[in-house]
Structure formats: structure tokens, C-alpha cells
Structure 1
Amino acid sequence: MALRLIQRIWRGFQPGTSSCRQSKRVSSFQPQVQVTGEMVEALREVVGSANVSTAMAVREQHGKDESMHRCRPPDAVVWPQNVEQVSKLAEICYRHSVPMIPFGTGTGLEGGVGAIKGGICFNLTHMDRILDLNVEDFHVTVEPGVTRKALNSYLRDSGLWFPVDPGAPASLCGMAATSASGTNAVRYGTMRENVINLEVVLPDGRILNTAGKDRRFRYCIRKTSAGYNLTSLFVGSEGTLGIITKAALRLYGTPESIVSAVCAFPSVQAAVDSTVEILQCSIPIARIEFLDEVMVDACNKFSSLQYAVLPTLFLEFHGSDQNVEEQVQQTEEITQMNGGSKFSWAKDQETRNKLWMARHNAWYAALGLRPGSKGYATDVCVPISKLPEIMVETKKDLVKSQLTGPIAGHVGDGNFHCIMVLNPDDLEEVHRVKEFTERLARRALALHGTCTGEHGIGVGKRKLLEEEIGEVGMEVMWQLKATLDPKNLMNPGKVL
């Protein structure tokens, strides 16, 4: 009962509330949902009875992610085995005007897999082959069921790796759909910079290769000026334009030397100032993550660590032995000028893995501060020059609002998260959290930043997206959506 109350209140304060103009547009652009027994039988003919489920437990499992947004189960779940089956299933859904919701590992944080209008969930995890590894040209092609961890395990003896690391055991095509990033983005970029080509099944079943079939623009072919960049259109589209069934990805050489370090600071300002100065000095640091003192304390308790309970930077350096030594020396000089402690080192792989596992477990560590609590992760990003200002103001806002919101951030690219930990039975606290998260997002927009650095828009940030890109930008996005998905069947109710 408490969870239903918090979801009802959260929806009441959603920034996704449509304007009058947008409501009229949406009302004339709705899928006609009618999943009949005849249609379910047609789905079974394509993938087999074992790969179609209408069981409520299965449907509920596929109607939610890691967010606080309520579970909205689909009418049925299908497990296609290949792109041809995805195409045929899409044709059936299109013919019956039934929505389609792609599903990977369910690790999203913005309600992106909920079946708001009902429909069919496409679970793509059975399509899990790694295809076309090309070591000489630094690329690999994967199906949507392949996860980041599985790919890097496969690449272990090749001398290559894929560095985009959101922490969660996410699928790579799901990461492309949300334009995910993570701890390595400061050096290696996000999914948007590392996706070369996509195979996408469009709403009517047509199969599109965004850069041309088997093309590897930018890497095999070093450059191209051939038309619109369709690949980037689908990266970050969150399943609203088509179903990604294959992704060609950029790979990197495994660094000769990897060294990690931890450095504590007397204040948030000192830690963030160090980050800005490190980047201004063009030190090619691979990871630079910030944890405030509340998050450090939570990680210490959750992961059995003993770091000083102070604002802290987790850093990692990649390169040759000589390059890493130079990077470390320059970085340590900068941090100590800002009052930072001496580096606590993590040089062997086991110690490094423990350090970064603690960072990746920050979500669960934060929830551990208040057993029985629920979590809501904010996700703003600002220009590096504005990072000290917004971080300091956010800490003041948290104290003034009397809220628990430990901060962890990919500060090297201006992206950070307040993991709001709240009591689902305290409706007044729910209200304060919602007001805080809206203030934080609008503070980022006022500093020429974005309301989401990597989690996506989903169902919760649609109004903020409109504020960010403006009326004309929204109009163009609606026109693109209407052209590619005229029946509004692809993951309806998300982003727009």
C-alpha cells in the first residue's frame, strides 16, 4: 500500500505533465491496443509457444526497471531468436496497431520499459551472439543480448576491450538505446561516440542498417560525408523509433599499465576544483569519480572499506608505464595544492576491482543507509567550469531540505548523481524529494547543462526535456517520431 501511495504522489508531481498543446498532439497520435488470442497465436507461430508468455508474473517482471516508476506490465512477452523473427513480430504488431516495448536487462532508471499503453514486450536476451570481431580494425558486432561484461570477457585474449562502463550489467544494445556512459567516459566517451553502425527493425518490420549494411564508417573507413547521421538518431532514442537488433562498436587496445588511486579532500569545493584543474592541464585520465562524505561512509559500510569519511576522488590512469607515471605525478601535485591527501594506491588487479566494485555498488550502499528505503537517482550534467558551483549549491540544498542524498559523480565529464534515499511511508518527505530533484534539474539547465547525462528521459523527465531543447526542438522530434512511427507503436509514452 505504501509503495502505491508513493507512486501516486510521484506521478502527481511528474515533470512529464504535458502542456495543453502537447496533449492535443498526443491524443491524435495514440496506438489502438487490442491484443487478442488470435494475435498471440500468430506470435507463437513465429517464435514457438515456449517463447511467448502471458503469465502475470512474467509480464510484471518485464514491466519495470530499477526506478521508482510504477510497474506497467505488457499484455504478452516474446523472446525472438534472430532479426528475421523480430521483423515478423513487428509486422504482426503493426498490422494490429499494438505497441512494442524492447527489453534488455531491465537495469534502466527512468521507467523506460513500462508498457504504458499495453502491448508486446520484446525480450531480446536470447539474441546473444558476438559477431564479426575485427582485431585489425578495432571493431566488433554484437546482438542485443550481449552484455558489456560478456563482451569484455570474450575479448580478454585479443588485446582489445570495450571501455563504456555504466556499472550495471547492462546489454550493449540497451546501452546504445539510452546513450549510456559511465566511469570511463572522460577518456573514452559515451555510447554515442562508440557506436559505429546499428541494425534496427522499424515499427512496420523493415530492417534498417543506419550506416549501410556491414559498413564500418569512422574506423574501417576513416571518414564519410554520406548523408544524415542515422546512427546517432537511434542512439539515445530509448526504443521509441525502432528495435535495435545489432550494434557495431568501437574497440580499444588494452592499456599496458593501469593504476588506480583514492584521494580525500577537506571540502567538496577542493575536490571539484582539483577535477577541473586536472582536465585543464590535459592529463589523459581514464576515470575520475567523486563521492561526497555521505557516500564514502555508505560505501565503507557496504563494501567493508576504511576510507576517510571526507569528499573523495577515485582516479584511474591508463597508458604505458612511463605515461602513467607522468600522469600520476602531475595529478598528485594538483590534488595536494588543493589540500588533498596522499594517494592511497590500488595497483594490482584484485585491489583495483575491489575499489571500482565499491563505486559501482554505490546505489545499494546508499539504500543501506536506511533499510527499507526506496531510491531515486538524479542525473544532471553541466559544463566542467560550472561543476564546482552546482555541486556546492546542491550540498547546501540537501542540508536545507533535510534530505538524505549521497552524491556520486562522473565528475570528469560534468555528470553527477544524488541518490535520494527516502521513506515510502513519509509522504511529506516524498514531496520534498520531488521538489529537490526538480530544483536540481533546473539548476543544471540554468547553467547550460542537461537534465540527464546518461539515464535518459523515460517517463519522468519529458517536461524537463521540453524546457531543455525548446518548443521548436520538441516539434522536430515529434515530426521525426511521426515519420518513422506513424502509429506511435514504439515504446509509446517515453521521451515525448
Structure 2
Amino acid sequence: MSRKDVIAGERNEAGIAAALDLLRQQFGERFQTGQSFREQHAHTTTYLPAQLPDGVVFVQSTEDVQAVVRLCAAHKVPMVPFGVGTSLEGQVNAAHGGISIDFSRMDKVLQVNAEDLDCTVQPGVTREALNTYLRDTGLFFPIDPGANATLGGMASTRASGTNAVRYGTMKDNVLALSVVTAEGEVIRTAQRARKSAAGYDLTRLFIGAEGTLGIITALTLKLQGIPEKIGGGIAQFPDLKSACDAVILTIQMGIPMARIELMDEVQVGACNAYSGLTLDEKPTLFLEFHGTEQSVAQQCDQFAAIAAEFGAQSLRFTADPQERAQIWKARHNAYWAGRALRPDLSGLSTDVCVPISRLADCVAETQRDLRESGLLAPIVGHVGDGNFHLLMLFDDESEADVERVEAFMARLSARALAMDGTCTGEHGVGQGKMSYLEAELGGALAVMRQVKRGLDPDNIFNPGKIFRL
């Protein structure tokens, strides 16, 4: 990640001026150009500088989106889709100016097919709102990236989170999308069938595209039955390698963990202070098991045996919903707990992902690099699938600090790639990780550019993200 990747693209001033006029006429008070609206739709949760759109349109229907796309396409004006702005790599920045399309008013659950375990929603529905809506059906949507993100945004960044080790990521849980193309037409990428061999897999082409190929206006999602029994637990280890090795063996043994999350000793101390936990400041695994009463008990016993083999110094399980909720609330608040360690500093959250067999090596080398660099960065991870995160705490107004952090980030990415991993397991590329993508994908980037040019020849869908044209 580098601030150098956040460059202002060429602006189409005449086209933007014409589009602002026409959007104001067509959408009235649902189109805003005030400074505060524009700032709210360009904020990033990193140290990357914000790049404001020229206007914000609040869409309420697919027809609204079509109208905006046709108007902007006619004047070659960029568009940036906006959910709630929880993306971490500058995905909502308007690098070339243009229009932010706000989906907060497209927040309806359109259909629930309980017998088929699926539903169709508008892109502005958040994951928490969907699960509240589904509560009486006995079903839930399992993807949980921590933030209460919109489902359109989660699809666009190929989100995952704490439940991914059991339920997969967004790419595994989206059956079909409705997408507005550069011509302003609506396409549906698939039907509701659970599998298909009919042509190109367009659904997964748009998932993770970060709004650069088209604009999602509806999603058909897989649902899961709420488990009969949910058990949780905490295991603490003498060192990070032991905790990681316990995770690796747990996955290799095929124990169907619902969640298995890692915190290093720095993050545990932060969560104790912020969330009122009373854990020893040691590498810690947060665990969750889903199933029947019998299967959950069996999973707990199996994990306890593995934890003991790797020297677990404390281990406790609970089926109490309130105690489990406290554990996971602390995990979800890990970012804010980390920030509270040094509220005078900025925070930069990043992630990498490696094959599970290389997890212990990658985390241990990363900790060593942090010590040698003198950097403060709590580590957390969805380690059941080899994905871990760091929150870099530093003075973003100090060029020396920025250079030190950026050099560390480059080494972290290179380390993950050397282990057959990726520079981002779930945050996406946006602007922040563009410089690492070529090393990871090589010639595949040329194919991506061909796809982009084919679907968006005028480069109006979220330009300046993932790669440059």
C-alpha cells in the first residue's frame, strides 16, 4: 500500500458539469452536491487521502440506477457505487471525480424462498438487517465481515469474515446478480438453481470486481438453517506458533469449526482494556461450533485434545448465549480496541492470506518483522482459512513513519506471495493494493484489462481501482 497509488485521474469537466445539471433536474432533492454529502461519500477507513465525488445521487430502484448510468454514459462521467463506506482500500474514492451512487434507500428484502434456502435482496440491505428479517424463518445469512456492511458492497469486495471457515465467502453464497451494464441495460447472471453449467460464470465475474464492471441492483443469496446448538470457547497458548499449529491440525482433522479466530498478545491486551475482558495477555483462539447437542459436544472434545497437544494453558467452553455474545462482540470490536491503544495515532488495517500449512510460518515471520521495525500492530485473524490482519498504528503526518509502514506492508505482501498466498484475503484491492497485484497475478492482469475494456469501454465504472488502464 502506498499513497502514490492514490492519484487523481483525468477529469471530464464539461461532461461532469452537464451531468450535474441533468441529475439535479431529474432527481431533485435526491441529488446532492453539498460539501458534507460529498465528504461522507469519499471517506476511507485507511490513511489514504479522500477523493470527493462531484455529486451524490440517492437511488431507490433499478430504474433509477439505469437512468443514472445512461445519463453518465452519454457524458462519459465516472460513477462510484456506495453502500455504507466500510471498505478498507479506498474503493469509494472518486479518483476521476464524477457521481457517487448511494444505495442506502435500496434496502428491501424482495423475496425469501424458505424451502429452497435462498432470498433475493436489494444491494443496500445490510447483513444485520437481513438476519433480523429472517429471524422468524429459522434461517440466517452466514457471511460476517464484522462491520454491518451492505450486501451489495460485500459482493463487490468478495467479503468473507469470521464464519468463512465453515460457510465460505461471498463467492460461495451468491447464486445470482442483477447488474446494470454500461449501456444502461439490466442483465441477470444466473437463475436460482444451486448449480449450473450454462455458459460463463458471470456471477463470479462481478463478485469482487469492486464496481468496475457494472452496478449490482439485486442479489440472490444462499441461506442456512440456524443451528440447533451453538457452542463457543476460548483457548490460550504459550506462543503464536502453538496457537497457529493447533488451528492447522484442527482444519486438517476435518473438525467442522464455524469460527476459529486468532488474537496475538497485543490484541488481547487491547480487548481486555476496551471490552472488559479478563484474559491473560497470551495468544488466544476464539472458537465457535455449530450443530446438534451431540455433535457440538464432540467437536469441543476433539478440539480440547488438539489444544492440549500444543500446550494450551487455559481452555474453556460455553453454551451460554450471553457469554458467547460478549466474546464475539469483543472480537468484532478488535479494530476499535486496537485504535484505543494509541488514540493519538492513525490506524491502517491490512490483511494477507496464505495456504493453511504456511500460516504459522507467515505469522511468526511477520511478528519478527514488526519487532525489528519497531512498529506497533496488533494481529487478529480468520485463521481457519489462513487469513490474518494487522492494524498498523503510526503517525500519518510523519513521512518517516509512513515510509516505514509502507516498506513493512511491501515485505508483508511479498512474504505472503512467496508462500503461495495473496496480498489480500478479503479487503480487496481498491487503490491501496494496486502496486502488489502485478507481482501476484502477472499476465492475468492483461486479461482483466481486456474484460474491463470490453464491458466498460469508456472507463466510467469506478475508474482508478484494482489496476490502471
TM-score with structure 1 length normalisation?
0.92
Q: Deviation per CA, 1:272-292, whole angstroms, max 9, x where unpaired? A: 000000011100010000000
* 1:376 partnered with 2:348: yes
Residues 1:159 and 2:138 aligned together:
yes
Contact 1:278/1:334 (8 A) holds in 2:
yes
Residue 448 of structure 1 pairs with residue 420 of structure 2: yes
State the alpha-carbon separation in 2 of the partners of residues 42 and 89 from structure 1.
10
**1:43 maps to which residue?**
23
Residue in 1 that maps onto 2:334? 362
Confirm or deny that 1:341 pairs with 2:304: no
Rounded Cα–Cα distance in structure 2 between residues aligned with 1:349 and 1:41: 54
* Contact 1:80 1:86 (C-alpha < 8 Å) held by counterparts: yes
Task: Tell me which residue corresponds to 1:127.
Answer: 106
Deviation at 1:349, TM superposition (A): 1.6
Counterpart in the other structure of 1:488? 459
- In the TM superposition, what is the alpha-carbon distance from 1:65 to its structure 2 partner? 2.4
Q: Deviations over 1:321-350 (max 9, x none)?
A: 000010000000000111113422332222
Shift of the alpha carbon at 1:67?
Answer: 1.8
Counterpart check, 1:399 vs 2:371: yes
Query: Do the aligned residues in 2 keep the contact of 1:31 with 1:487 (CA within 8 Å)?
Result: no
* CA shift digits 1:88-138 (9 cap, x unpaired): 110000000000000000001000000010000000110010011000000
Describe the superposition over 1:21-50 as per-residue Cα deviations: whole angstroms up to 9, x where unpaired: xxxxx99xx77343555432321343x311
Counterpart of 1:113 (choices 92, 96, 102) is 92
CA distance in 1: counterparts of 2:144 and 2:421, whole angstroms:
22
Q: Deviations over 1:180-231 (max 9, x none)?
A: 00000000000010000001111221111111xxx2131xxxx321000000
Q: Say if 1:293 and 1:311, in contact at 8 Å, map to a contact too.
A: yes
CA deviation profile, 1:457-480 (whole Å, cap 9, x unmatched): 00011121111111x201100000
User: Is residue 118 of structure 2 the alignment partner of residue 139 of structure 1?
Assistant: yes
- 2-structure distance, mates of 1:467, 1:303: 39
Structure 2: segments with no counterpart, 5+ residues: none
- The answer to whether the 8 Å contact 2:16/2:98 transfers is no
Task: Tell me if structure 1 keeps the 8 A contact 2:2–2:432.
Answer: no
The alignment covers a number of residue pairs equal to 467
Conservation of the 8 A alpha-carbon contact between 2:165 and 2:259: yes
Q: Secondary structure at the match of 1:486?
A: coil
Asked whether the 8 Å contact 1:179–1:235 carries over to 2, the reply is yes
Q: Percent identity?
A: 48
Q: Secondary structure at 2:136's aligned position in 1?
A: coil
Q: 2:233 aligns with which of 261, 265, 272?
A: 261
- Secondary structure of the residue aligned to 2:347 is strand
Displacement of 1:443 in angstroms is 0.3
Q: Counterpart in 2 of 1:331?
A: 303
Contact 1:199–1:244, Cα closer than 8 Å, also in 2: yes
Contact 1:31 1:488 (C-alpha < 8 Å) held by counterparts:
no
Matched, 1:473 2:453: no
Structure 1 SS opposite 2:220: strand
Q: Distance in 1 between the 2:452 and 2:14 partners?
A: 22
1:33 and 1:99 in contact (8 A); partners too:
no
On the 8 A contact 1:101/1:120 being kept in 2, the answer is yes
Given that residues 67 and 108 in structure 1 are in contact (C-alpha distance below 8 angstroms), is that contact kept between their aligned partners in structure 2? Answer: no
Letter in 1 for 2:323: T
Q: Distance in 1 between matches of 2:245 and 2:55?
A: 51
CA distance in structure 2 between the aligned counterparts of 1:75 and 1:115, rounded to whole angstroms: 8
**Aligned equivalent of 2:3:** 11
Assess if the C-alpha contact under 8 Å between 1:241 and 1:484 holds in 2: yes
Q: Secondary structure at the match of 2:257?
A: coil
Residue 188 in 1 paired to residue 164 in 2? no
Question: Are 2:18 and 2:75, in contact at CA under 8 Å, matched by a contact in 1?
Answer: no
Which residue of structure 1 lines up, in the alignment, with residue 209 of structure 2?
Answer: 237
- Aligned with 1:157: secondary structure? helix
The amino acid that maps onto 1:486 is P
> What is the distance in 1 between the residues matched to 2:18 and 2:456?
24
Which amino acid counterpart does residue 188 of structure 1 have in structure 2?
A: Y
Q: How does 1:272-351 map to 2 (within 5 A)?
A: 272-351=244-323
SS of 1:149's partner is: helix
Is 1:63–1:115's contact at 8 Å kept on the other side of the alignment? yes
Residue identity matched to 2:269: D
Q: Deviations over 1:57-92 (max 9, x none)?
A: 110111122122111110000001100110011000
Instruction: Provide the rounded CA distance (Å) in 2 between the counterparts of 1:33 and 1:461.
Output: 28
- In the TM superposition, what whole-angstrom CA distance separates every residue of 1:235-290 from its partner, at most 9, and x where no partner exists? 00000001111000000000000011001000001000000000111000100000
Q: For the Cα contact (< 8 Å) 1:100–1:119, is it kept in 2?
A: yes
Q: Is the 2:11–2:97 Cα contact (8 Å) retained in structure 1?
A: no
CA distance in 1, matches of 2:169, 2:372: 34
Determine the C-alpha separation between the residues in 2 that align with 1:36 and 1:140.
37
Assess if the C-alpha contact under 8 Å between 2:103 and 2:124 holds in 1: yes
Gaps of 5+ in 1: 1-8, 18-25
Tell me, in whole angstroms, the C-alpha distance in 2 between the residues paired with 1:133 and 1:225: 25
Q: Report the 3-state secondary structure (helix = DSSP H, G, I; strand = E; otherwise coil) of the residue aligned with 1:240.
A: coil
In the alignment, what sits opposite 1:56? 35
Q: Partner of 1:22 in structure 2?
A: none
Give 1:279's aligned amino acid.
I
Partner of 2:50: 71
Are the counterparts in 2 of residues 272 and 411 from structure 1 also a CA contact under 8 Å?
A: yes
2:193 to 211, 217, 237: 217
Compared CA separation, residues 206 and 329, structure 1 to 2 (3 A)? same
CA contact (8 A) 1:288 1:410 kept: yes
Query: What root-mean-square deviation, in Å, do the aligned CA atoms of Structure 1 and Structure 2 show?
Result: 1.6
Instruction: Give the Cα separation in 2 of the matches to 1:319 and 1:265.
Output: 26
Q: State the match for 1:227 in structure 2.
A: 199
CA distance in 2, matches of 1:400, 1:263: 28
Alpha-carbon contact 2:381-2:388 (below 8 Å) kept = yes
Q: Is the 8 Å Cα contact of residues 161 and 382 (structure 2) preserved in structure 1?
A: yes
